[in-house]
Structure 1
Amino acid sequence: MQFIQSSAFTAQRAWGALDIANLNGITVRLHWTDEPYVWHVNDGEEVFAVMSGRVDMHYRESGEEKVVTMLAGDIFHATVGTEHVAHPIGQARILVIEKEGSV
């Protein structure tokens, strides 16, 4: 058992992570970042929950780039094949649930 105060978590580098659990090949990780990630497509589904901060989630739908600003408590579900990239606005802490070894 563990309790995690996500607001206190920091990392040595952008997108550094605290591994929380591995649920039969599905990882639950808390990330800290102050820099954008890279455009990518996961090889499975991904759940992305903003714990603190703000994040501009860029994604492509039918070849068109769209952006949604996510606040603490907001959740993004990327289905298989969803091309996306997260751009934090300042510092952000993000809970990511995805297939082990995903990009």
Structure 2
Amino acid sequence: MKIIRTKNFTAERAWGALDIANMNGITTRLHWTDQPYKWHINDGEEVFVVLDGIVDMHYKVNGEEKLAILNVGDIFYASVGTEHVAHPQGEARILVIETEGSV
């Protein structure tokens, strides 16, 4: 059993993570960041939940870049093959559920 106070979580570096669970190869991790990630395509599906802060999520559809502004409680689902990059506006805490070892 775990209780995690997400507002209190910080990491020593951008995109540092706290491992919450690994359920049959699907990981749930809490990330803290104040810096953009990098353009990437996950090895599988990804669920990205903003718990604190605001995140500009850039993603591509048929090669065309799109932008969604994600607020607290918003969820971004990246299906297989979705190229995307997250840019927080200041600090953000994000819950990420994805295949273990994914980018």
- 1:86 is aligned to 86
The structural deviation recorded for 1:43 is 1.0
- Percent identity over the alignment? 71
- What is the SS of the residue equivalent to 1:12? coil
After superposition, where does 1:66-85 map in structure 2 within 5 Å?
66-85=66-85
| Residue segments in structure 2 that go unaligned for 5+ positions in a row | none
- 1:51 is aligned to 51
Structure 1 residues 11-62: Cα deviation after superposition (integer angstroms, max 9, x where no partner): 0000000000000100000000000000000010000000000000000001
Q: What amino acid is the match of 1:21? A: A
- 1:24 is aligned to 24
Q: What amino acid is the match of 1:55? A: V
After superposition, where does 1:57-68 map in structure 2 within 5 Å?
57-68=57-68
Instruction: Please give the alpha-carbon distance, in whole angstroms, between the structure 1 residues aligned to 2:6 and 2:74.
Output: 15
- What is the SS of the residue equivalent to 2:40? coil
Instruction: Please give the alpha-carbon distance, in whole angstroms, between the structure 1 residues aligned to 2:15 and 2:58.
Output: 17
- 1:95 is aligned to 95
The structural deviation recorded for 1:79 is 0.1
- What is the SS of the residue equivalent to 1:7? helix
Q: Determine whether 1:13 maps to 2:6.
A: no
| Residue segments in structure 1 that go unaligned for 5+ positions in a row | none
Structure 1 consecutive aligned stretches of length 4 or more whose deviation exceeds 2 Å: none
